[in-house]
Amino acid sequence: MPQTPKDGTTVVLPRGLRKGLTNYGDTGFSLFLRKAFIKGAGYTDEALDRTIVGVVNTGSGYNPCHGNAPQLIEAVKRGVMMAGGLAIDFPTISIAESFSAPTSMYLRNLMSMDTEEMIRAQPMDAVVLIGGCDKTVPAQLMGAASANIPMVQLITGSMLTGGHRGERVGACTDCRRYWGRFRAQEIDEQEITEVNGKLVASVGTCSVMGTASTMACLGEALGIVMPGGASPPAVTSDRIRIAELSGRQAVEITRTGLTPDRILTAKAFENALRVLLAIGGSTNGIIHLTAIAGRMGFEVDLDAFDRMSRETPVLVDLKPSGQHYMEDLHFAGGMPAVLRELRPLLHLDALTVTGRTLGEEIDAFRPFPQTVVRPIADPIYPAGGIAFLRGNLAPGGAIIKQSAANPELMEHEGRAVVFEDSADLASRIDDPELDVHADDILVLKHIGPAGAPGMPEAGYLPIPKKLASTGVKDMVRISDGRMSGTAAGTIVLHVTPEAALGGPLALVRSGDRIRLSVSARSIALLVSDAELARRREALTQQPAPAAPAAPLRGYRKLFLEQITQADKGCDFAFLRATEMVGRVPGHAADAADAADAADQE
Ligand code: FES
């Protein structure tokens, strides 16, 4: 595609197979060699002369959430071919939640680097990213945004729901619910084994508004997923059609030069943050959006996000905040139905991957009566799906998903019962001698970004067995970790700075009193400053931990050197944009003005 620099000359950039030639010191030979090898796979010169769309294949035997990847690739290729392009698929890392040790979040940034570098390294004019399971879509958006070539995000789609003894079930809210019932001895060994075979009824991503569904919806709100592309279940014809359309559109945007930096703007991120709140989305969504925004040069202002939260109702009635499943959202019109309700609160002039604005896409949707997406005047939760907390326990902030919390615990003071790390938790939580009462506050340290490492979804601490068996279903729980988007409870997460970096969480001791006030947005450790100073001094006097058995090396070394805290999206410091150009939400107009001014210089 020709480009016109500021001096008025026209530069024709290489496209297709001529892009990014391998350096042999002779460009003619480089192209000759590249063609010779790919012809070995049976391509003709005519095929190789076309616009090339790379298709990121994240199919993996270890990733059932991407089990439909072969069908999606076939449909994308068909769409590319229909539009006159040539599709070439290539693999990258694939991450599935329950198959990734120590935790999938540890690998997200590695996948983003793989995605970015393989897009840069291989000749392609546009890319279709096939992702679905929790960390894959954020990793792909982070990597492809940094590579900044035209892209379309394609979602694998949610799994179907199953049935257990007459009850509809789906991963993973019901996985947790049944496990909780088993721990409380409400169901026996036979039933927990039986339901294990019913919770996941097909390939695809978790069937509730967990992190995967959240990121699919946020992709559509950002305008980088095709309209209606977030909700079709994995095994439906609608999903395959979206794949074909994504392929077609990928060719189209090479003609118009629609690069991600024109779509992933401050306004788009504000829209996505708004949608995160309105769908009752996963708390992980805020970390991933922060990371993606950081690649484009935007900081997320969490205080402004909290103000946005206070004026944004939760409209989507899906588990874990509500009743329904992703396939119900699809039958109810999917994201276009949500966006139509939210219309007054969105930036309608934000550009989408179709080349039309978000407002134009919303106007194209014809609403119909349904009960899953509530009218803005009759929400399932009035405001503030996610609240941002501050206090002496979390100077850098913490969050709570109040739409999935127990209203009776959101103003609560209690005695801390502290677990130093995951191993300590595992060894004592079910000890019949554990000194714990229902109105205590469970605190888990050292599960933050650097501490675990990888910030595992261990923030959903189990209710101690001795309390669970008496019917206790929820307690206030606090940690520097994350929680699955499929989980629910009065759970304070992402305490920043984390304990491993010496945050105040490291100073909490069993018996301290902690006060949570969601209405005041505060989380306070009720211990005097003098005593905290004494504890900090004692902490620094402790002997350094014994040197690890083997010297730190490889990816783990890179991770620990570069990982940022939750308020920076847990991205690696060196992967974020080299220059920050604005803050979201609440500052989109300012950021756009600044960008315009820069363009005019
Ligand atoms: Fe993949 Fe839930 S485990 S989406």
CA–CA separation, 217 and 237 (whole Å): 19
Ligand 1 pocket member 209 (CB < 6 A): no
In this model, does residue 1 exceed pLDDT 50? Answer: no
Cα(268)–Cα(259) distance, integer angstroms: 14
Q: Does residue 97's CB lie within 6 angstroms of at least one atom of ligand 1? A: yes
Q: Per-residue pLDDT for 462 more than 90? A: yes
Residue 404 confidence (pLDDT) above 90: no
The answer on pLDDT for 486 being more than 90 is no
DSSP 188-246: -HHHHHHHHTTS--SSSB-SSSSHHHHHHHHHHHHT-BPTT-SSS-TTSHHHHHHHHHH
What is the per-residue pLDDT for 321? 82
pLDDT band at 448 (very low <50, low <70, confident <90, very high): very high
**pLDDT digits 0-9 by tens, 147-191:** 999 999 999 999 999 999 999 999 988 999 999 999 889 999 999
Band of the pLDDT at 7, cuts 50, 70, 90? Answer: low
| Cα–ligand 1 centroid distance for 134 (angstroms) | 6
pLDDT at 552: 87
- Does 134 contact ligand 1 (Cβ within 6 A)? yes
Cα of 490 vs centre of ligand 1, distance in Å, is: 22
Q: Which atom of ligand 1 is nearest to the CA of 64?
A: 1
For residue 129, the cross-strand partners are 56, 153
Could you tell me the pLDDT band of residue 403, with boundaries at 50, 70 and 90?
A: confident
| Ligand 1 centroid, distance to 157 Cα (angstroms) | 10
Compute, in angstroms, the gap from residue 190 CA to the centroid of ligand 1: 25
What is the mean predicted confidence (pLDDT) over 258-274? 98
Query: Does residue 428 sit in helix, strand or coil?
Result: helix
Q: Which of 99, 133, 155, 284 to mutate to test the pocket of ligand 1 (most atoms within 8 A of CB)?
A: 133
> What's the 12 CA to ligand 1 centre distance in angstroms?
43
Q: What's the token pair of residue 573?
A: 């410091």
Q: Is residue 216 within 6 Å of ligand 1 at its C-beta?
A: no
Q: Mean pLDDT lowest for which of 15-24, 234-243, 324-333, 361-370?
A: 15-24
Task: Report the pLDDT value the prediction gives residue 541, as an integer from 0 to 100.
Answer: 84
Ligand 1 centre distance from Cα of residue 66 (Å): 9
Query: Which residues sit opposite 444 in a β-bridge?
Result: 419, 479
**Which residue matches tokens 């350094």?**
544
pLDDT-derived band of residue 544, with 50, 70 and 90 as boundaries?
Answer: low
Q: Assess whether the C-beta atom of 137 lies below 6 angstroms from ligand 1.
A: no
Owner of token pair 């306004």: 267
* Alpha carbon distance 58, 66 (integer Å): 7
Asked if residue 589 has pLDDT above 60, the reply is: no
Q: 3-17, 194-208, 381-395: which range is least confident on average? A: 3-17
Q: Is the pTM of this model over 0.75?
A: yes
Question: Is the predicted pLDDT of residue 454 greater than 80, yes or no?
Answer: yes
- Going by pLDDT thresholds of 50, 70 and 90, the confidence category of residue 2 is very low
- The closest residue, in CA terms, to atom 3 on ligand 1 is 97
pLDDT of residue 383: 83
Give the distance (Å) from ligand 1 centre to CA of residue 304. Answer: 30
Among 63, 97, 161, which residue has the most ligand 1 atoms within 8 Å of its CB, making it the best to mutate? 97
Which numbered atom of ligand 1 lies nearest the CA of 213?
4
pLDDT exceeds 70 at position 240: yes
Q: What span, in angstroms and rounded, lies between the C-alpha atoms of 265 and 243?
A: 25
Kindly state if the Cβ of 204 falls inside 6 Å of ligand 1: no
Largest CA distance in the chain: 78
457 lines ligand 1 (CB under 6 A): no
Mean pLDDT computed over 338-354: 97
State whether the beta carbon of 212 lies less than 6 angstroms from ligand 1.
yes
* Rounded distance from Cα 62 to ligand 1 centre (Å): 12
Ligand 1 pocket member 205 (CB < 6 A):
yes
In the three-class reduction of DSSP (H, G, I as helix; E, B as strand; rest coil), residue 389 is classed as strand
- Provide φ and ψ at 481, rounded to 5°: -100, -165
Decide: helix, strand or coil at residue 550.
coil
- In the structure encoding, which two tokens stand for residue 25, read together? 């010191």
Q: Taking 60 as the threshold, does the pLDDT of residue 309 lie above it?
A: yes
Mean pLDDT across the stretch 579-596? 71
State the Cα–Cα distance between residues 406 and 402, nearest whole angstrom. 8
Question: Average pLDDT in the 366-372 region?
Answer: 96
- Lowest-pLDDT range of 451-455, 509-513, 586-590: 586-590
Residue 463 is predicted with a pLDDT of: 95
Task: Return d(Cα 295, Cα 151) in angstroms, integer.
Answer: 15
pLDDT in tens, 79-88: 999 999 999 9
Report how far residue 399's alpha carbon sits from residue 386's, in angstroms, rounded to the nearest whole number.
7
Confirm or reject: Cβ of 268 under 6 Å from ligand 1. Answer: no
Atom of ligand 1 nearest to the CA of 486: 2
Q: Which of 239, 226, 225, 245 is nearest to 327 (CA)?
A: 239
Residue 595 clears pLDDT 80, i.e. is over it:
no
Lowest-pLDDT choice from 66-75, 130-139, 302-311, 538-547: 538-547
Average pLDDT, the chain: 93
Sign of CA pseudo-dihedral 81, 86, 91, 97: negative
493-538 pLDDT tens trace: 999 999 999 999 999 999 999 999 999 999 999 999 999 999 999 9
For atom 2 of ligand 1, the residue with the nearest CA is 206
Ligand 1 proximity of 133 Cβ (cutoff 6 Å): yes
What domains are there in the chain, each with its CATH number?
A: 386-540 (3.50.30.80)
Quick check: 8 pLDDT over 70?
Answer: no
Distance CA 349, CA 531 (A): 53
380 CA distance to ligand 1 middle (Å)? 25
Lowest mean pLDDT, pick from 272-276, 460-464, 551-555: 551-555
DSSP β-ladder status, 52-57 and 411-419: unpaired
pLDDT grade, residue 11 (50/70/90)? Answer: low
Separation between Cα atoms, residue 412 and residue 418, nearest integer Å? 17
Neighbours of 447 (CB within 10 A): 29
3-state secondary structure 480-536: CCCCCCCCCCCEEEEEECCHHHCCHHHHCCCCCEEEEECCCCEEEECCCHHHHHHHH
Ligand 1 centroid from CA 448, angstroms: 21
* Nearest-CA residue for atom 1 of ligand 1: 133
Strand, coil or helix: 58: coil
- pLDDT band of 48, cuts 50, 70, 90: very high
| Ligand 1 center to 96 CA (angstroms) | 6
Residue 102 Cα to ligand 1 midpoint, Å, equals 16
